[in-house]
A and B are shown apart, each in its own frame.
Chain A
Amino acid sequence: MKIITGNDLRTGDVIWWTGQGWSRLVNDAVAVGEDADAIIAQENDKQVVTDTHVIDAETTSEGVRPAHIKERIRALGPTVRMDLSLKPADPAAAKWVI
């Protein structure tokens, strides 16, 4: 499936399009199908998100999983500083990106 991601303009945080707005959790991302370009144009006009782009992902038992490792690292945080990631209490979470 296709999902949309970007960075919060003000904070730089990685965010994901939920269908209603933006979330920091990749599991909140929704498939956008053929609407990606229209959503990106609409959101870019609001000037609150930057570097918006469409990526491939799949739904697994653990939730939404971006297809490429770079996007999985964006979704989680640096694998070498799990204390700074979105799952600081789960050191094993780094394995999810590989």
Chain B
Amino acid sequence: MYQYDSYDQSMVDARVAEFRDQVQRRLAGEITEDQFKPLRLKNGLYLQLHAYMLRVAVPYGTLSSRQMRLLGDIADKYDRGYGHFTTRQNIQYNWIKLEDAPDILADLASVEMHAIQTSGNCIRNTTSDQFAGAAADELVDPRPYAELLRQWSTFHPEFDYLPRKFKIAMIGSETDRAAMKLHDIGIQLVKNDAGEIGCKFYVGGGMGRTPMIAPVIGDFVPPLQMISYLEACLRVYNRYGRRDNKYKARIKILVHEIGADEYRRQVEEEFAHILTLGLEPPAAELERIKGFFEQPGFDANASDDLDLSDPDFALWVDQNTHAHKQTGYTIVNISLKPTGGIPGDASADQIRLMADLALEYSFDELRVTHAQNIVLPHVKKSDLYTIWQKLDEAGLANANLDLISDIIACPGLDYCALANARSIPVAQKISERFADLGRQRELGELKLKISGCINACGHHHAGHIGILGVDRKGVENYQLSFGGSEGADTSLGTITGPGFNEDGVVDAVEKATDVYLAQRTEGERFLDTYRRIGMAPFKEAIYAKETANG
């Protein structure tokens, strides 16, 4: 777990005091909204449809139980008893009062948290693999590198006013669980044949109105030059990014317009220059940071044996746990997707319960996933049944990880000022339509993602099934797409054709799953079948006219 040093703490405390003064001056009428708006956004405070919304940064999705408990307390004390975990592994509160915001930030600072870098055209909070430091398939623990990146990017004066926001993901496994290639920069820690660690840089990916998959720009950057290479990537973008046009200002457009080869050439040139400046943090600093992420004190005698005689428990274990690198331990995924619920929402009591479970059973650690779920990364298998029972009592034991009801959905028009259509009601109807867990498991892995506008916070481009809400003359309409993916086989979904109303898109999803079940071959997921047979059979089914006798 990261730890603030005195510099971190004093910077964050100073920022709280500064914002408290800014809020007081705004409330006193001493500064206008035009003057105040960029200041509040720099502190993660948005004005949404119904109230102010505060987005709190969760560094690479990692939380201690003390931090998680405070997030629950904030929900009770300052909001309306719940929080919403987001696709950038953060949490946001929907009902914040301006006058309370400085107190909330002060509370957050007391547990080494803040809301900086959650808005604006800066380097946003870095995301990572939610199984970091725990997954059996991990090559290198990415958290020390992500922490170095956090320290480098926080308040970086050169990159505080970039052409647009900038999102970085960092992983250390073969399996990409962080949608790395759909970020402005994705960094994958890899090993070469000699066993040396290097950073593979993917630059220029993204979703939004112009989705793009990032090409490889740097094949194998030594870890002790990672920051210098990042500086070079950012400098070239900062110099040539399209500040004249908001819709063409992301780095993906620059890389696309000048081409990956030319962008790489310029980065390499800048990189060579930066190496002469000695900007790279000393190796000792990375080693110091690594000390924060030592393996916890695992029980070397822990057993892999599990009593699976309770069928509901067995289902949950099969669906919601993941292989851990340590014998006798497992990774627990807590689904925040109850049938008919709001994806990513958790009540204050649920948040505190998860904090308690982490403290007692997971070496005081939790992770937020970009799929809007929570992870207990280090759970002894002998504790699993007890944990499952406690989760079940709290409505947190839905065994639907990566199934069709494990839906990613942005807040949509129910909360978001940018949205064109509601996302959550569609997610609720789909999860209710497919409520039967046996049916979901029969369908297997099926990632369904919903966005309420083209900004794609719900990652619809990367959904095996994606849904995009649009405004058609003041009426909500939903475009359907198939074939998106965010992992090692990253691909962008293809729109099926004309859109649907809310009920129509739920029906269309069901018809698409029927096509899949009829056409799949052994071992194929929905995505695999779609890729093999193409759009035509799906399109035929979902746009078929009903006959007179049904």
Contact = CB atoms under 8 A, between A and B. Distances in A.
Interface of A: 7, 9-14, 44, 46-47, 50-51, 67-70, 73-74, 77-81, 84, 98
Nearest to B424: A80
A51 B415 CA distance: 16
Contacts of B47: 7, 12, 50-51
B428 interface: yes
Given A69-B474, A69-B476, A11 B413 contact: no
Contacts of B422: 73, 79-80
Interface residues of B, number: 30
The 8 tightest CB contacts between A and B, nearest first, are A47-B29, A12-B51, A78-B414, A12-B52, A80-B424, A50-B33, A11-B97, A74-B49
Given A11-B97, A79-B414, 9 more contacts: A9-B26, A14-B50, A47-B29, A50-B47, A78-B49, A80-B424, A80-B425, A80-B428, A81-B414
A68 B27 contact: no
A76 to B, nearest CB: 9
Given A50-B33, A51-B33, A68-B474, A77 B50 contact: yes
Interface string B83-99: 00000000000111111
B50 A9 contact: no
Interface in B21-58: 26-27, 29, 32-33, 47, 49-52
Contacts of A81: 342, 414
Interface in B475-524: 475-476
20 contacts: A9-B26, A10-B99, A11-B51, A11-B98, A12-B47, A12-B50, A12-B52, A12-B95, A14-B50, A46-B29, A47-B32, A51-B33, A69-B474, A70-B419, A73-B414, A78-B94, A78-B415, A80-B342, A80-B424, A81-B414
Nearest to B32: A47
A22 to B, nearest CB: 15
A47 B36 CA distance: 12
Contacts of A51: 33, 47
Contact of A14 (B27, B49, B413): B49
B80 interface: yes
Contact of A12 (B26, B27, B98, B413): B98
A54 to B, nearest CB: 16
Nearest to A7: B47
Contacts of A7: 47, 51
A68 B475 CA distance: 8
A91 B50 CA distance: 18
Contacts of B415: 78
A78 B48 CA distance: 11
Contacts of B95: 12, 84
Contacts of A50: 33, 47
Nearest to B412: A80
B410 to A, nearest CB: 13
Nearest to A51: B47
A14 B49 CA distance: 8
A78 B33 contact: no
Contacts of A74: 49-50
A84 B47 CA distance: 17
A47 B33 CA distance: 8
Interface in B43-87: 47, 49-52, 80
B500 to A, nearest CB: 15
Contact of A70 (B98, B413, B424): B413
A93 to B, nearest CB: 14
B51 A10 contact: no
A10 B97 contact: yes
B438 to A, nearest CB: 27
A55 B26 CA distance: 26
A69 B477 CA distance: 12
Nearest to A86: B50
A79 B425 contact: yes
Contacts of B33: 9, 44, 50-51
Interface in B418-444: 419, 422, 424-425, 428
B427 to A, nearest CB: 9
Contacts of B26: 9, 47
A47 B27 CA distance: 8
Select the residue from B49, B94, B98, B475 with max chain A CB neighbours within 10 A: B49
A47 B34 CA distance: 12
A13 B49 CA distance: 9
Contacts of B29: 46-47
Q: Which of B94, B98, B425 has the most CB of A within 10 A?
A: B98
Contact of B80 (A68, A69, A80, A84): A84
B98 A67 contact: no
A15 to B, nearest CB: 11
Given A69-B474, A70-B413, A80-B425, A10 B98 contact: yes
B548 to A, nearest CB: 29
Contacts of A80: 342, 414, 422, 424-425, 428
A12 B94 CA distance: 10
A69 B50 contact: no
A79 to B, nearest CB: 6
